[in-house]
Every structure is written in C-alpha cells, then in structure tokens.
Amino acid sequence: MKLGIKRRIANSWKKMSLLEKIFLVAAIVLTVLRFMIAMKIPLHIQAGAVYDDRMMVNYSTSLLSGKWLGGFNQFSLAKGASYSIFLVLNYLLGLPYSFTLILLYAIAIILLCVALFRLIKSKTFLYILYTALLYSPVMFHDENVQKVYRGGVIVIFALMIVAAIIGLYTRIEERNKKVIKWSLTASFALAFFWFLKEDSIWIMPFVVGGIGITVIHILRMKGVRREKIKKVALACMPLVCLGLAVLGYKTINLISYGEFAVTDRQGTYFKDVMTDLIKIEGEGRSKDNWVTRDMLKKAYEVSPTFAQVKKEIEKGYEGWAKDDGEIEGDIIFWAIKDAVAEAGFYENGPTVNEYYKNVHDELSKAFEDGRLRRNNDFYISSSAKGINENEISDFLELMGRSMDNVVSYEYNETGLYPATGDANGIALFDMLTMSQYVSAEAEGNFYKIEKITTDLASGIVKIYQIIGKVLFCLMVITLVVFSGYILYLLIKKRNMKGVASLYLVVVGMFGTCFTLFFGTTFFCRFLSQRKVYDYASPMLPLLLVVELISIYLFVTAGRKLLIARSNKKNK
C-alpha cells in the first residue's frame, strides 16, 4: 500500500512541468511557515465577555459535564451549540486551539482547490489560489483567530460547504462511491455550520442554487432511471441532513429545557415579543435606537404582564444605556431577558415561554384595537429594526462605505491583547484552548517573539490591503464582460460546457457573499464600521476566490484572443 502511494506520488511528480514543481514546493514551504505563524499568534482571552466568549466556554463546560448547555436561564437558548461542541472535541483530542484552526482552514482550502480542478485545469493557478487563501487576512484577524469565539470556525465551515457543493456538482457523473464523499462532506459541514451562528441562512443561496443546478444536470444526463434517482438523492442529502439536524437539535432542547426551538430568537414567543416591540410607533426611534424608553412605556401601559418587569428593565438601563439615555440596537433584548430572569420567570422553558406568550398576546391585542400603532418601517427580519424611506439614502451610503472597508481589509487587525476577566475564567479558557495567550501581569519583553509574529501578520495583511480594491475592481469588470460573453453564446446557441459551469460557480459565490454583506450591513446600522467587517469577514475568502478566478478568466481569454489573432496573421 505504502509502495503504491509512493509510486503514485513519484509518477505525479514526473508528469509535472518545471513551473508546477516550483509552485508546489513554494506552496509546501509557505504552508509550513503559515502554521508556524499561526501557532505564535497569542489568543485574546476575554473571560468577562458574558454574552459572547464566556457564554461559549460556559456551554463547553456544561457539555463536558454531560449537561447539554447548562441549567436553564436567559443564556440557554441564546446561541447555537456548534462552536462549543468544536471547543469540546478539540479539548478531548488534546490539540492546541490555534493549531486546529489553521489545520482545518488549510484542509478547507485544499478541498476547494480539488473541487475546482474539474473546472480549472491549471494546477499552477490552483497553487496560487491555495497560497492566497492560506494567507488571507481573514485568518489573521483578531476576531477570528485570537478571540475564543466562533468567527474563525464560521470562515472554515463556509469554505468547506462551498467546496463540497462544487465537488458534488463537478463529480456527479462519476461513480456513486466518489459522489457520496462530497455529499457526506456537504451534509456534515452544512449541519454543523447551521448552529454556529443565528444568521447562517446567508450560505443557502449557494447551497440551494448549487444543489438545484446539480439535480437539473442529473435529469439531463443519459442513463438508467434508477441510477439517476440515486444521484438525485445524493445531491439532495445535504438539505435532508440539515432538516434532520434541526429536528434533532430542537428535540434535545425540548427534552432539556421544554422548548422546541434552536434559539429563543427563532422559535419561541420571545421572538414574537421582540417583533412586537420594534414595531411600536414611538419617539426617539432611529437606526441606533430600536426600542426606546417611550416605546417601552407604551408597551407597559397595554401589557400588564410586561409591566411586571418594568422595575428590572429600568434598573438594567443603568448598565446598558448610552449618553442619550437609550439602549442601542438589539442590546435592549439582552436587557429585557436579564430583567425577566431577575424577576424569576426563567425557572424553566415552559414558564418563561408562557410569560412571553402572554406579553405577545397583550401587545397583539393592543395593535388590533388601536391602543398601539405600528411604525411604517420595512422589515427583512423579525428580530431587527426595519428601515423607512428617510433612512434609505443613508443605508445605501453605509453599504458603499462598508463595501469599501471590507474589500480593502481596512479593519483587519492582529495584536497582543492582555487577557481580561476573572482569574478562574482565564484559567478555564486556558484549559480548553491549550494555546498561548498574553497575561495581564507580564512585564517587559516577555512576549517578544509573539510581537514579531503579530507584526509579521500585520505586514502580510498590508499587502492585501494595498491590492484589495484593485482585485475587486478587476472582478467587477470581468464579471460584467463575462456575463456579456455568456449572453452572446446563448444567443448564438454555441457550446457553453465548462465555461457556463465556472460562470455559475463564480456568480453563485458572489451572490451568497452579497447576501451576507447586505444582511450584516442592515443589522449593524447601530454598530461601528469595524463590527460590519467582523461580521462580514466569512465572505472574504469566498470573495477572494471570485476575484482570482475572474483574473484567471481575464488572462485566459486574453491569451486565446492573442493566439487567434496570431493564427489569422499567419494565414
């Protein structure tokens, strides 16, 4: 067996051109260097981030204790469990967190390159693509690789999903034994990804579109009907597995907490109360203030049940409110959950769900009989403030500014950040991650090597920051021209095999990136530009793939044009 593998490697090496050999060796060396850099970038432990990092770690400790996500409270159904499961599995394997992140990221990139090989036969280009992605700023960003939070894992599994869906499409005509590998990869990655964050739906345009095109391709294939049915089943398996995973997850929550939901923002009456509150017409509403004091006052007046926690909510304003006395964005909902918990309603799932149901019923009745009036906002989400006609121009300007920041990697940062929070919490993070972090007590040049490494990472990012806008502009130009070319081929009824497939992949990836970008920008109107970048960063590797493939298409088309002209002259 070993001899066979060595022989295949030797034969593959012999078949490579000199240029391919150079790029392969360079890719291997750069991979080793990238792992070394990753292992020397210290974590930024935030043990005091109760609603983010600490919550994920608390979930992990509960999982290790066999208690699912812990005893029932306002945090139990706040977020999905995938990231905490990731932390637990990594801890049980005894691997440093930093190592696992870069390892899985490299595997995801390799999967993508292998999947694309059927559409792009140039190994040299794929080596370039692999290296460019490996050194992408997104996995040097503190939000994704230094915080013990879900950002980096979202990036990794988004890449895996895209790779698996492309692989499923490009290999669908092969034997089912090969097809099933891509189908299983897509099924696992999609199911795991779904419970990483509450906005995971942004990946679905690519998934549904890719599976749909794959099914259409299968139906147009020649062959036995029974074989086609098998292939359709393999193509649709990721969606079926996702449905089963959601059902299983909800069932676990039902058994553990008495609530058949993934999170309380998606499947409980808490979601309905959020929707009711943000739709109340009241004074002081803006892109920053989703639910104002005036809106809460109106809710208290018509909902005796909600008025029961008025004292606790008003108390919560002391810690959450900004200078104008209001609470920004969706933070108001955290304040309400804390208030309801303090009032004693988070005894168990059915109890608190009944409380929110009563509030929702009372608010709904008030809307119906006119005691409450709905605002005129347009909503794309039931748990985020809508937009009115006076805010559209500002939103479009924000989108333009945000896109400029995203494609130029402006807010990408790597640094030395001392651990914060209580000593026991920091020790817990340290135990789970088994990776380097900066101690607040360290003095002098104790982290000299780490400083050199983070400076090196920042230097690499600067290269991408310089060329980021250029790549994006080239991509836009190429996509416009290539769209025209595809339209021309359609009109002329020319053969588009291969060209159309790559075009669909590129457009699909760009479309799903834009879905995330639009949703993030819409939600983050009350946050800083930096947070838009943080939340939109999972799209950056996919966008880089689109940019590089666009350049590849541009160069390839240029070469073909030059060759054609040369042949004409020779004739």
Residue 267 token pair: 């499947």
Confidence grade of residue 1 (pLDDT, cut at 50, 70, 90): very low
Task: Quote helix, strand, coil % in the chain, to nearest 5.
Answer: 70, 0, 30
Using an 8 Å Cβ cutoff, are 250 and 263 in contact?
no
Which phi and psi angles does 30 have, rounded to 5°? -65, -30
Beta bridge partners of 387: 378
Using an 8 Å Cβ cutoff, are 201 and 87 in contact?
no
- Beta-carbon count within 10 A of 401 CB: 13
Confidence grade of residue 441 (pLDDT, cut at 50, 70, 90): confident
Q: What is the pLDDT of residues 389-437, one digit of tens each?
A: 888 999 999 999 999 999 999 999 999 999 999 999 999 999 999 999 9
At 142, which amino acid appears?
A: D
Helix/strand/coil for 180: helix
- Residue 219 to residue 208: CA distance in whole angstroms: 16
The closest alpha carbon to 432, from 39, 35, 53, belongs to 53
The per-residue pLDDT for 14 is 74
- Residue 238 to residue 161: CA distance in whole angstroms: 10
The per-residue pLDDT for 306 is 96
Using an 8 Å Cβ cutoff, are 81 and 63 in contact?
yes
Using an 8 Å Cβ cutoff, are 416 and 438 in contact?
yes
Q: What is the pLDDT of residues 339-391, one digit of tens each?
A: 999 999 999 999 999 999 999 999 999 999 999 999 988 888 877 888 988 88
Measured in residues, the chain has a length of 571
Average pLDDT, the chain: 91
The per-residue pLDDT for 3 is 53
The per-residue pLDDT for 11 is 73
Half-sphere exposure of 403 (CA within 13 A, CB side): 17
Q: Rounded to whole angstroms, what are the CA distances from 168 to 235, 418, 479, 499? A: 7, 44, 24, 18
CA dihedral defined by 24, 26, 543, 113, rounded to 10 degrees?
20
Residue 476 token pair: 């836009």
Residue 528 token pair: 């800083």
DSSP string for residues in 288-346: S-SS-HHHHHHHHHH-HHHHTTHHHHHHHHHHH--TTS---TTHHHHHHHHHHHHTT-T
pTM above 0.85, yes or no: yes
Helix/strand/coil for 147: strand
Q: What is the mean pLDDT of residues 542-564?
A: 81
Q: What is the pLDDT of residues 468-504, one digit of tens each?
A: 999 999 999 988 888 887 887 778 776 666 677 888 8
